Amino acid sequence: MTPGDPLPLRQEHIADATGLTSVHVNRMLAQLRREGLISGGGTIVQIADMPRLLAAAGLKRC
What is the per-residue DSSP string for 4-47? TS-----HHHHHHHHT--HHHHHHHHHHHHHTTSEEEETTEEEE
Residue 47 CB contacts under 8 Å (≥ 6 apart), including other chains: 3, 37, 38, 53
Radius of gyration of the chain (CA): 12
User: Average pLDDT for residues 21-39, to the nearest whole number?
Assistant: 92
pLDDT of 1 higher than 80: no
Banded model confidence at residue 8, pLDDT cuts 50, 70, 90: confident
- 27 — pLDDT class (breaks 50, 70, 90): very high
The closest alpha carbon to 35, from 10, 27, 58, 21, belongs to: 27
> For residue 6, is pLDDT > 80?
no
